Protein backbone atom coordinates (compact mmCIF):
# COMPACT_ATOMS: atom_id res chain seq x y z
CA UNK A 1 0.00 0.00 0.00
CA UNK A 2 2.82 2.40 0.89
CA UNK A 3 4.54 1.75 -2.44
CA UNK A 4 1.28 2.30 -4.30
CA UNK A 5 0.83 5.72 -2.72
CA UNK A 6 4.44 6.97 -2.61
CA UNK A 7 5.81 5.52 -5.83
CA UNK A 8 3.09 4.20 -8.13
CA UNK A 9 0.59 6.99 -7.30
CA UNK A 10 -2.30 4.58 -7.92
CA UNK A 11 -1.17 4.05 -11.53
CA UNK A 12 -0.55 7.73 -12.27
CA UNK A 13 3.23 7.24 -12.28
CA UNK A 14 3.08 4.85 -15.23
CA UNK A 15 0.38 6.88 -16.99
CA UNK A 16 2.51 10.04 -16.94
CA UNK A 17 5.52 8.06 -18.10
CA UNK A 18 3.59 6.64 -21.05
CA UNK A 19 2.37 10.10 -22.08
CA UNK A 20 5.79 11.79 -21.88
CA UNK A 21 7.77 8.89 -23.30
CA UNK A 22 5.33 8.44 -26.16
CA UNK A 23 5.51 12.09 -27.25
CA UNK A 24 8.41 12.60 -29.65
CA UNK A 25 9.47 14.45 -32.77
CA UNK A 26 12.48 15.21 -35.00
CA UNK A 27 13.41 18.30 -32.98
CA UNK A 28 12.23 17.17 -29.55
CA UNK A 29 14.21 13.95 -29.41
CA UNK A 30 17.68 15.53 -29.92
CA UNK A 31 16.77 18.23 -27.36
CA UNK A 32 15.83 15.58 -24.78
CA UNK A 33 19.03 13.64 -25.45
CA UNK A 34 21.10 16.81 -25.05
CA UNK A 35 19.31 17.74 -21.81
CA UNK A 36 19.84 14.29 -20.34
CA UNK A 37 23.55 14.43 -21.24
CA UNK A 38 23.94 17.82 -19.54
CA UNK A 39 22.33 16.47 -16.37
CA UNK A 40 25.03 13.89 -15.69
CA UNK A 41 27.23 14.20 -12.60
CA UNK A 42 30.20 13.95 -14.95
CA UNK A 43 29.55 17.54 -16.03
CA UNK A 44 30.29 18.87 -12.54
CA UNK A 45 33.93 19.78 -13.43
CA UNK A 46 32.72 21.87 -16.40
CA UNK A 47 30.36 23.84 -14.18
CA UNK A 48 33.16 24.33 -11.66
CA UNK A 49 35.49 25.54 -14.42
CA UNK A 50 32.90 28.07 -15.57
CA UNK A 51 32.59 29.41 -12.04
CA UNK A 52 36.38 29.57 -11.64
CA UNK A 53 36.54 31.86 -14.67
CA UNK A 54 34.45 34.37 -12.75
CA UNK A 55 37.22 34.72 -10.14
CA UNK A 56 39.09 36.95 -12.58
CA UNK A 57 36.22 39.46 -12.64
CA UNK A 58 37.18 42.69 -10.79
CA UNK A 59 35.26 43.88 -7.72
CA UNK A 60 31.79 45.37 -8.13
CA UNK A 61 33.02 48.96 -7.87
CA UNK A 62 35.45 48.45 -10.75
CA UNK A 63 33.06 46.65 -13.07
CA UNK A 64 31.18 48.26 -15.92
CA UNK A 65 27.42 48.41 -15.49
CA UNK A 66 26.82 45.65 -18.04
CA UNK A 67 28.69 43.17 -15.80
CA UNK A 68 27.03 44.21 -12.56
CA UNK A 69 25.15 40.89 -12.40
CA UNK A 70 28.37 38.90 -11.93
CA UNK A 71 29.06 37.73 -8.35
CA UNK A 72 32.17 38.84 -6.46
CA UNK A 73 35.18 36.47 -6.52
CA UNK A 74 34.78 35.63 -2.81
CA UNK A 75 31.19 34.61 -3.46
CA UNK A 76 32.24 32.41 -6.38
CA UNK A 77 34.93 30.68 -4.32
CA UNK A 78 32.50 30.02 -1.48
CA UNK A 79 29.92 28.71 -3.96
CA UNK A 80 32.48 26.32 -5.45
CA UNK A 81 33.24 24.86 -2.03
CA UNK A 82 29.52 24.41 -1.41
CA UNK A 83 29.08 22.84 -4.85
CA UNK A 84 31.87 20.28 -4.35
CA UNK A 85 30.54 19.32 -0.93
CA UNK A 86 26.96 19.05 -2.21
CA UNK A 87 28.03 16.90 -5.19
CA UNK A 88 29.87 14.46 -2.95
CA UNK A 89 26.96 14.26 -0.55
CA UNK A 90 24.46 13.74 -3.36
CA UNK A 91 26.51 11.01 -5.07
CA UNK A 92 26.69 9.05 -1.81
CA UNK A 93 22.99 9.51 -1.02
CA UNK A 94 21.74 8.64 -4.51
CA UNK A 95 24.03 5.61 -4.78
CA UNK A 96 22.88 4.23 -1.42
CA UNK A 97 19.22 4.76 -2.31
CA UNK A 98 19.60 3.10 -5.71
CA UNK A 99 21.17 0.02 -4.15
CA UNK A 100 18.86 0.01 -1.16
CA UNK A 101 15.54 0.33 -3.00
CA UNK A 102 16.73 -1.59 -6.10
CA UNK A 103 13.80 -0.52 -8.28
CA UNK A 104 14.05 -1.52 -11.97
CA UNK A 105 14.04 0.73 -15.02
CA UNK A 106 10.79 1.25 -16.95
CA UNK A 107 11.95 -0.96 -19.82
CA UNK A 108 12.41 -3.84 -17.37
CA UNK A 109 8.88 -3.79 -15.93
CA UNK A 110 6.69 -2.49 -18.75
CA UNK A 111 5.65 -4.63 -21.76
CA UNK A 112 8.27 -5.11 -24.45
CA UNK A 113 8.08 -2.48 -27.16
CA UNK A 114 6.06 -0.04 -25.02
CA UNK A 115 9.11 1.96 -23.87
CA UNK A 116 11.08 4.13 -26.28
CA UNK A 117 14.70 4.16 -25.02
CA UNK A 118 16.80 6.94 -26.56
CA UNK A 119 19.71 6.75 -24.09
CA UNK A 120 20.83 3.52 -22.47
CA UNK A 121 20.92 3.87 -18.66
CA UNK A 122 24.19 3.50 -16.81
CA UNK A 123 22.83 1.04 -14.23
CA UNK A 124 19.74 -1.15 -13.75
CA UNK A 125 18.65 0.86 -10.69
CA UNK A 126 15.96 3.43 -11.42
CA UNK A 127 15.14 5.07 -8.07
CA UNK A 128 15.99 7.90 -7.59
CA UNK A 129 17.12 9.75 -10.71
CA UNK A 130 20.75 10.83 -10.32
CA UNK A 131 20.50 13.26 -13.24
CA UNK A 132 17.52 14.99 -11.66
CA UNK A 133 19.34 15.13 -8.33
CA UNK A 134 22.31 16.82 -9.97
CA UNK A 135 20.10 19.32 -11.84
CA UNK A 136 18.28 20.35 -8.66
CA UNK A 137 21.59 20.51 -6.79
CA UNK A 138 22.92 22.97 -9.37
CA UNK A 139 19.78 25.07 -9.06
CA UNK A 140 19.91 25.09 -5.25
CA UNK A 141 23.61 25.90 -4.91
CA UNK A 142 23.79 28.58 -7.61
CA UNK A 143 20.38 30.13 -6.95
CA UNK A 144 21.59 32.89 -4.63
CA UNK A 145 24.83 33.96 -6.37
CA UNK A 146 23.26 33.74 -9.84
CA UNK A 147 20.96 36.71 -9.38
CA UNK A 148 17.50 37.18 -10.83
CA UNK A 149 18.59 37.22 -14.47
CA UNK A 150 20.04 33.70 -14.44
CA UNK A 151 17.58 32.01 -12.07
CA UNK A 152 15.16 31.41 -14.93
CA UNK A 153 17.97 29.58 -16.75
CA UNK A 154 18.58 27.39 -13.69
CA UNK A 155 14.88 26.53 -13.43
CA UNK A 156 14.73 25.72 -17.15
CA UNK A 157 17.83 23.54 -16.85
CA UNK A 158 16.42 21.53 -13.94
CA UNK A 159 13.03 21.14 -15.64
CA UNK A 160 14.51 20.00 -18.96
CA UNK A 161 16.77 17.44 -17.30
CA UNK A 162 13.89 15.98 -15.31
CA UNK A 163 11.53 15.75 -18.29
CA UNK A 164 14.30 14.36 -20.48
CA UNK A 165 14.90 11.42 -18.12
CA UNK A 166 11.30 10.32 -18.67
CA UNK A 167 11.36 11.16 -22.37
CA UNK A 168 14.44 9.04 -23.10
CA UNK A 169 12.92 6.09 -21.22
CA UNK A 170 15.35 6.00 -18.31
CA UNK A 171 13.06 6.90 -15.38
CA UNK A 172 9.52 7.05 -14.12
CA UNK A 173 8.26 10.48 -12.99
CA UNK A 174 8.50 9.33 -9.35
CA UNK A 175 12.23 8.71 -9.84
CA UNK A 176 12.63 12.27 -11.09
CA UNK A 177 10.59 13.75 -8.25
CA UNK A 178 12.58 11.99 -5.54
CA UNK A 179 15.79 12.84 -7.41
CA UNK A 180 14.82 16.51 -7.19
CA UNK A 181 14.21 16.04 -3.47
CA UNK A 182 17.62 14.40 -2.93
CA UNK A 183 19.52 17.03 -4.90
CA UNK A 184 17.69 19.94 -3.33
CA UNK A 185 18.25 18.53 0.16
CA UNK A 186 21.97 18.01 -0.42
CA UNK A 187 22.30 21.52 -1.88
CA UNK A 188 20.43 23.00 1.09
CA UNK A 189 22.57 21.10 3.61
CA UNK A 190 25.81 22.17 1.93
CA UNK A 191 24.67 25.78 1.71
CA UNK A 192 23.62 25.77 5.37
CA UNK A 193 26.87 24.19 6.58
CA UNK A 194 29.06 26.74 4.82
CA UNK A 195 26.81 29.67 5.66
CA UNK A 196 26.98 29.36 9.44
CA UNK A 197 27.44 32.78 11.06
CA UNK A 198 30.84 33.46 12.54
CA UNK A 199 31.10 34.00 16.28
CA UNK A 200 31.13 37.71 17.00
CA UNK A 201 34.21 39.09 18.72
CA UNK A 202 33.81 40.08 22.36
CA UNK A 203 33.09 43.82 22.58
CA UNK A 204 35.76 45.96 24.17
CA UNK A 205 34.44 47.81 27.20
CA UNK A 206 34.76 51.60 26.88
CA UNK A 207 36.89 53.41 29.48
CA UNK A 208 35.01 54.56 32.53
CA UNK A 209 34.43 58.31 33.07
CA UNK A 210 36.64 58.24 36.17
CA UNK A 211 39.56 56.92 34.15
CA UNK A 212 39.00 59.61 31.55
CA UNK A 213 38.90 62.41 34.12
CA UNK A 214 42.03 61.10 35.81
CA UNK A 215 43.84 61.03 32.50
CA UNK A 216 42.94 64.66 31.74
CA UNK A 217 43.76 66.19 35.14
CA UNK A 218 46.41 68.96 34.96
CA UNK A 219 49.78 68.30 36.63
CA UNK A 220 49.05 70.87 39.41
CA UNK A 221 45.98 68.93 40.53
CA UNK A 222 47.90 65.71 41.08
- List the CATH number of the domain containing 162: 1.20.144
pTM over 0.85: no
Question: Domain of 52?
Answer: 2-195
Residue 218 lies in a domain: no
Give the residue with greater pLDDT, 179 vs 73: 179
Nearest-5° angle of CA 43, CA 34, CA 189?
40
* Least confident among 24-33, 98-107, 184-193, 210-219: 210-219
The phi-psi region of residue 74 (left if phi > 0; otherwise alpha if psi is between -120 and 50; otherwise beta) is alpha
Residue 100 lies in a domain: yes
Residue 196 has pLDDT above 50, yes or no: yes
Secondary structure letter of residue 61 according to DSSP: G
Non-local (6+) Cβ contacts of 22 within 8 A are 116
Q: What pLDDT shows up at residue 120?
A: 86
Residue 103 lies in a domain: yes
* Least confident among 75-79, 137-141, 153-157: 75-79
DSSP string of 150-201, one letter each residue: HHHHHHHHHHHHHHHHHHTTS--HHHHHHHHHHHHHHHHHHHHHTTPPPPPP
Residue 221 lies in a domain: no
Residue 207 lies in a domain: no
Residue 70 lies in a domain: yes
Residue 114 lies in a domain: yes
Number of domains the chain contains: 1
- Length of the chain, in residues: 222
Residue 216 lies in a domain: no
Amino acid sequence: MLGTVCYDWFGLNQAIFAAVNGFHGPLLDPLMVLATRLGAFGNAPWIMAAMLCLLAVPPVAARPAVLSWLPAPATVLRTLVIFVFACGLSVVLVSLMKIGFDLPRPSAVLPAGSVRVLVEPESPHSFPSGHSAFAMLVLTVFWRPAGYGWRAVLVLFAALVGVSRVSVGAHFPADVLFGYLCGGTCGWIATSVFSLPRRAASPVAPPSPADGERATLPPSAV
